[in-house]
Amino acid sequence: MTVAGPAMRVLVIGAGPAGMRCAERAAQAGLEVTLVGAEAALPYDRVALGRVLSGEAEVPALITHDLRRLRALGIGYRPATPIAALDRAARVAVTARGEAISWDRAVIATGSRATRLPLPGAELPGVFVYRTIDDVRAIHRAAAGGARAVVIGGGLLGLEAAASLSAIGAKVTVVHAVDWPMERQLDAAAGALLARSLGATRGLRFAMPAATTAIEGSAWVSGVRLADGRRIACDIVVMAVGVRPVTELARDAGLAVARGIVVDDAMRTDDPAVLAIGECAEHRGVVCGLVAPALAMAEVAAATLADAEAVYAPRPDPTALKVSGIAVWSAGEVAPADAEAVTLTDEQAGRARRLWLRDGRLVGAVLYGDTADSPFYLDLISSGRPVAPHRATLAFGPAFQDAA
Ligand SMILES: Cc1cc2nc3c(=O)[nH]c(=O)nc-3n(C[C@H](O)[C@H](O)[C@H](O)COP(=O)(O)OP(=O)(O)OC[C@H]3O[C@@H](n4cnc5c(N)ncnc54)[C@H](O)[C@@H]3O)c2cc1C
């Protein structure tokens, strides 16, 4: 007869989507799981924050796991508990309040933090980043009543924030460093179509290309100064200029960190008792910036914790601009330096496509305006089938391939 020993104690640090998923799967595998999160909220759907900003949803609708569900899963949940240090030799984590939590295995899922440009005035009240429920609550409060808002950054997230702000009556100007928005995904012509469409349907204004040199104000932000001398008067500023993996805890604990915390295919760091997942992790030189790979890593980590074989295999996860009525879809590698680009733009119809080929295979695609063919391109990227013979017709989509 075998006698079951005490369950392995797993500490998951960070209660974002990756940490929550890993905690859930590890608990289902019978491990004793404690989940600690720096944020005060219950675990929530970060991807849907724009719906709270635009007033389409209330915060409770975003909560993915309430206390009852966490209890039913057997997860010990500790909100508002940032971990300040990880002692790997003693297998103890120390909270910011100085409390020690013992573990047999630790999973670091500390995600990313939004970049705050180091500009004069960047710390003024009224200047926000866009990452957490607290950020969104604060932006929403400050923007109510027809505020003038400047969003710095015209990428996916900046445009989403801008559209949400305009939905609650703010007058929004997007300041973007390049001549057109979403320049990583779209070429100049499609970018111009997008800017025109967001202007017509959402009332967004664009200052492009424009570099912000200072944020002005005394007790509260009052304007944004651009490099060409222009000043845009505003009541709030939202910075949406990128994110950076949160790696200090791992670095201070002596784990290997490059851009993210370096992990192997099983999500182990260079200490096999410590795993890392989600946006804080770096797998084969890549740090992910989307929720699907973060969740896939969480599944692999949970299997590793339960001593099952699992290997993380990155996929060409698709993403879309979440602004209703404006269709932009992308998958795979967007604008890789070593690939050949094929571009098709139909300005009359308001449609554009960009495809990237390497070694005769499709490695990335962006569709603007009409995204109905997205499954076709996703399949080509995922399967890695040779497409070189169809290169001339590839941008026209599957219907044309059948006819050809
Ligand atoms: C507004 C918005 C919209 C988005 N839309 C999309 C989309 O459409 N599609 C898509 O794929 N992705 C989208 N993303 C990105 C997506 O949210 C991330 O890919 C995902 O949240 C990554 O999950 P994660 O668990 O790795 O990290 P995070 O979600 O960043 O979670 C990490 C958690 O760890 C906590 N933490 C950090 N340090 C500590 C510590 N020392 N102790 C304890 N806790 C700590 C943080 O407070 C945070 O709660 C969006 C992001 C935002 C902000």
Query: 39 C-alpha vs ligand 1 centroid, how far in Å?
Result: 11
User: What type of residue sits at position 103?
Assistant: W
- The CATH number given to 9-113+243-305 is 3.50.50.60
Given a cut of 60, whether residue 2 has pLDDT beyond it is no
- The CATH number given to 127-239 is 3.50.50.60
Query: 399 C-alpha vs ligand 1 centroid, how far in Å?
Result: 38
Residue-level pLDDT at 1: 53
Q: Name the segment(s) of the chain with CATH classification 3.30.390.30.
A: 327-403
pLDDT digits (tens, 9 = 90+) for 84-97: 999 999 999 999 99
Query: 143 C-alpha vs ligand 1 centroid, how far in Å?
Result: 23
State the average pLDDT over residues 300-322: 95
For the Cβ of 281 lying below 6 angstroms from any atom of ligand 1, the answer is no
For the Cβ of 291 lying below 6 angstroms from any atom of ligand 1, the answer is yes
Given a cut of 90, whether residue 223 has pLDDT beyond it is yes
CA-136 nearest atom, ligand 1: 1
Residue-level pLDDT at 40: 97
CA-46 nearest atom, ligand 1: 17
Residue-level pLDDT at 399: 80
Distance in Å from the first CA to the final CA of the chain: 68
DSSP 195-232: HHHHHHHH--EEE-S--EEEEEESSSEEEEEETTS-EE
Taking the alpha carbons of 325, 330, 334, 340 in that order, is the dihedral positive or negative?
negative
By the 8 A CB rule, do 332 and 356 touch?
yes
For the Cβ of 404 lying below 6 angstroms from any atom of ligand 1, the answer is no
For the Cβ of 319 lying below 6 angstroms from any atom of ligand 1, the answer is yes
CA-CA distance, 356 to 333, in Å (whole number)? 8
By the 8 A CB rule, do 27 and 74 touch?
yes
pLDDT digits (tens, 9 = 90+) for 13-67: 999 999 999 999 999 999 999 999 999 999 999 999 999 999 999 999 999 999 9
Q: Which of 12, 291, 322, 334 best tests ligand 1's pocket when mutated (most atoms within 8 Å of CB)?
A: 291
Given a cut of 60, whether residue 275 has pLDDT beyond it is yes
Query: 295 C-alpha vs ligand 1 centroid, how far in Å?
Result: 11
pLDDT-based confidence at residue 252 (cuts at 50, 70, 90): very high
- The distance from CA 194 to its chain's CA centroid, rounded to whole angstroms, is 21
- Pairing relation of β-strands 9-13 and 32-36? parallel
User: What type of residue sits at position 160?
Assistant: E
> 3-state DSSP: the chain helix, strand, coil percent, rounded to 5?
30, 30, 40
pLDDT-based confidence at residue 401 (cuts at 50, 70, 90): confident
Q: Which of 279, 282, 315 best tests ligand 1's pocket when mutated (most atoms within 8 Å of CB)?
A: 279
pLDDT-based confidence at residue 260 (cuts at 50, 70, 90): very high
pLDDT digits (tens, 9 = 90+) for 353-386: 999 999 999 999 999 999 999 999 999 999 999 9
Residue-level pLDDT at 187: 85
Query: 132 C-alpha vs ligand 1 centroid, how far in Å?
Result: 8
**What percentage of the chain carries pLDDT values higher than 70?**
98
* Nearest to 319, CA basis, from 302, 340, 333: 333
CA-CA distance, 157 to 240, in Å (whole number)? 6
Identify the residue whose C-alpha is closest to ligand 1 atom 35: 14
Look at the domain 327-403 and name its fold: Enolase-like; domain 1 (3.30.390)
- Dihedrals φ, ψ of 375, to 5°? -60, -35
Given a cut of 60, whether residue 402 has pLDDT beyond it is no
E strand segments, 246-360: 261-263, 274-276, 281-283, 286-287, 319-320, 328-332, 340-346, 351-358
CA-320 nearest atom, ligand 1: 8
Q: Which of 92-106, 126-140, 201-215, 333-347 has the lowest mean pLDDT?
A: 333-347
pLDDT digits (tens, 9 = 90+) for 179-195: 999 998 888 888 999 99
For the Cβ of 113 lying below 6 angstroms from any atom of ligand 1, the answer is no
* Nearest to 49, CA basis, from 240, 285, 294: 240
Q: Which of 11, 12, 42, 47 best tests ligand 1's pocket when mutated (most atoms within 8 Å of CB)?
A: 47
Query: 192 C-alpha vs ligand 1 centroid, how far in Å?
Result: 30
By the 8 A CB rule, do 104 and 6 touch?
no
* Nearest to 258, CA basis, from 275, 272, 249, 245: 245
Tokens of 118: 């180091």
Residue-level pLDDT at 32: 98
Contacts of 104 (CB under 8 A, 6+ apart): 8, 9, 10, 91, 273
**Residue whose token pair is 């890789």:** 336
Query: 46 C-alpha vs ligand 1 centroid, how far in Å?
Result: 6
Q: Name the segment(s) of the chain with CATH classification 3.50.50.60.
A: 9-113+243-305, 127-239
